Amino acid sequence: MDGFVGRQTELAALDRMLARVAAGGRAGRPGRALLVRGRRRVGKSRLVEEFVERSGLPHLYFTASALTSSSADVQMFVEAGRTSSLPGADLFAGQSPQGWDAALNLLARALPTDRPSVVILDEMPYLIENDHGFEGTLQKLFDRELARLPVLLIGIGSDLAMMEALNGYGRPFHQRATEMVVLPLNPRNVADMLALPAAGAFDAYLVSGGLPLILDEWPRGASVSEYLSEIVADPTSALLVSGERALAAEFPPESQARRVLAAIGAGERTYSMVSRASGLPQASLSRALELLITKRVVQAQTPLYTRPSLDSRYTVADPHLRFWLAFLGPYLHEIERGRGDLTLARITTSWTAWRGRAIEGVIREALRRLPERLPGDTREIGGYWTRSNDPEIDLVGADREPIAKTITFVGSIKWQETRPFDSHDLGRLLRHRDQLPGAEAETPLLVVSRTGSDVDGPPVLGPDDLLAAYQ
């Protein structure tokens, strides 16, 4: 299966960066820097590997380890330089530099001066954590040496907040690098890769999160149930391994953040319920939530309407990790002892209810890509709820957030296999619109339904309409 379905845009952007290096720069400074960020397992490293292979240019690819040792990082970098395809690779042989300044100066001497080359620093956040002076050292070497050479320097990292901050004001590398975000494959990519109809593609997206490694092992045309019935018997599958590896790279198993994430992954959404499930005191819970939100692992959402609200709801940001935490992570012991059938039975029993909640965020994102299908001057899409969940409204459109000036539409999501949106659902939606502060009797309605509608009235969008958002 082609692992680069949906990656042509990113490859083209990398090609453009390399073309700028080849064309030279102002005042004899052709060197360029690029910071690539994206969630773990999303295919950042594979993308860059494909890019350098296609380019055919001399390159050095270095991947930092999670070891808390700067000297170990330096020695691994020297070894990567010695085995690289750079013309001066032999300069690294027998060298034992005492720090990054000396190691990066070796790199500058090894780079070609007469043609472009590429240097990749993968897992860059580890380098920064192990040596707080690394950023400054790299910036000095870039300004003094690398910018004068025809080299494309690529830094890769999965800590989204840290990678975003690297190019920010006050940091050594400020305004020296272009930024690229590598997103998971979207539902349209999933549909194309797996040859699935729209509804099936959204199901597969909720399980895989659009991660290429999982989709690579998913048979073409297989439904979620068909895929899971085979894969839960294999404890080494990407579906089972990806979640644990992503978490292990960010949070130790015994960490408080893992306890909080497990509670949210199990379905707890409010502060009080997460506190009860995790067993943490308020101060510890607040710190753990702040860390999870900063790392973009958890999203905190507030109701979208015309008044301020502090009633946050917490969800796992990545669809695959959300699925893994709900159905796989807590039950790996079953699969490892050959009882994946128990895991599969649990998923089968809970799938419809879990999917109905998990699809909401995916649908809101798709609708943001379809402004021409939305009523009024819609710029933001969220939901509305009260502490008692009466009412709880799936879709609210507004002109701005977090406090709307105008509610542009009120909507319902009905995502069931056989039951369409019906007159009972319409009556409930009308009642909820009456209870939404800022909505009026004339506020338009919108329905998103997996199986259509039995009633006339509000416009209805289905899986094919949502998939068209990613054309």
Reported as a single tens digit per residue, the pLDDT across 183-197 is 999 999 999 999 999
pLDDT for 334 equals 93
pLDDT for 2 equals 44
8-23 vs 44-55: helix crossing angle, rounded to 10 = 50
pLDDT for 205 equals 98
pLDDT for 200 equals 98
DSSP secondary-structure letter at 184? P
At 83-120, the pLDDT tens digits run: 999 999 999 999 999 999 999 999 999 999 999 999 99
At 348-396, the pLDDT tens digits run: 999 999 999 999 999 999 999 999 999 888 999 999 999 999 999 999 9
- Taking 70 as the threshold, does the pLDDT of residue 212 lie above it? yes
Sorted by sequence, the CB contacts under 8 Å of residue 62 that are 6+ apart come out as 76, 77, 80, 81, 119, 120, 121, 122
pLDDT for 40 equals 86
Alpha carbons 150 and 118: distance in angstroms, whole number: 9
The residue-averaged pLDDT of 136-154 equals: 95
Alpha carbons 269 and 253: distance in angstroms, whole number: 21
Sorted by sequence, the CB contacts under 8 Å of residue 261 that are 6+ apart come out as 247, 251, 292, 297, 298, 316, 325
- Taking 50 as the threshold, does the pLDDT of residue 3 lie above it? no
Least confident of 143-152, 239-248, 348-357: 239-248
Q: How many CB atoms lie within 10 A of CB 362?
A: 17
Domains defined along the chain, listed by start? 8-181 (3.40.50.300), 187-360 (1.10.10.10), 365-470 (3.40.1350)
Q: Are 348 and 323 in contact (CB under 8 A)?
A: no
pLDDT band at 1 (very low <50, low <70, confident <90, very high): very low
Alpha carbons 452 and 466: distance in angstroms, whole number: 13
- Strands in 21-147 per DSSP E: 32-37, 59-63, 117-122
- Strands in 145-201 per DSSP E: 151-157, 177-181
pLDDT for 382 equals 97
The residue-averaged pLDDT of 214-232 equals: 95
At 265-298, the pLDDT tens digits run: 999 999 999 999 999 999 999 999 999 999 899 9
pLDDT band at 29 (very low <50, low <70, confident <90, very high): confident
pLDDT for 175 equals 86
pLDDT for 224 equals 97
Q: Comparing 201 with 172, which gets the higher pLDDT?
A: 201
Which residue in 402, 405, 359, 366 sits closest to 384, CA to CA?
Answer: 402
pLDDT band at 6 (very low <50, low <70, confident <90, very high): low
Phi then psi dihedrals of residue 415, to 5 deg: -120, 65
Supply the Cα-derived Rg of the chain in whole angstroms: 25
Percent of the chain beyond pLDDT 70?
A: 98
- Strands 407-414, 392-398: parallel, antiparallel or unpaired by DSSP? antiparallel
Burial classification of residue 197, based on how many CB atoms lie within 10 Å of its CB (0-12 exposed, 13-18 middle, 19 or more buried): middle
pLDDT for 198 equals 98
Phi then psi dihedrals of residue 204, to 5 deg: -65, -35
Q: Are 424 and 454 in contact (CB under 8 A)?
A: no
Percent of the chain beyond pLDDT 90?
A: 82
- Taking 80 as the threshold, does the pLDDT of residue 5 lie above it? no
Q: Comparing 5 with 241, which gets the higher pLDDT?
A: 241
Q: Are 47 and 182 in contact (CB under 8 A)?
A: yes
Q: Are 340 and 232 in contact (CB under 8 A)?
A: yes
Alpha carbons 278 and 257: distance in angstroms, whole number: 9
Cα torsion angle, 261, 396, 38, 370, sign? positive
Q: Comparing 25 with 351, which gets the higher pLDDT?
A: 351
pLDDT for 4 equals 53
Highest mean pLDDT among 39-43, 63-67, 434-438: 434-438
Q: Comparing 131 with 86, which gets the higher pLDDT?
A: 86
Least confident of 26-30, 47-51, 204-208, 355-359: 26-30
Alpha carbons 147 and 257: distance in angstroms, whole number: 40
For the chain, what is the mean pLDDT?
A: 93
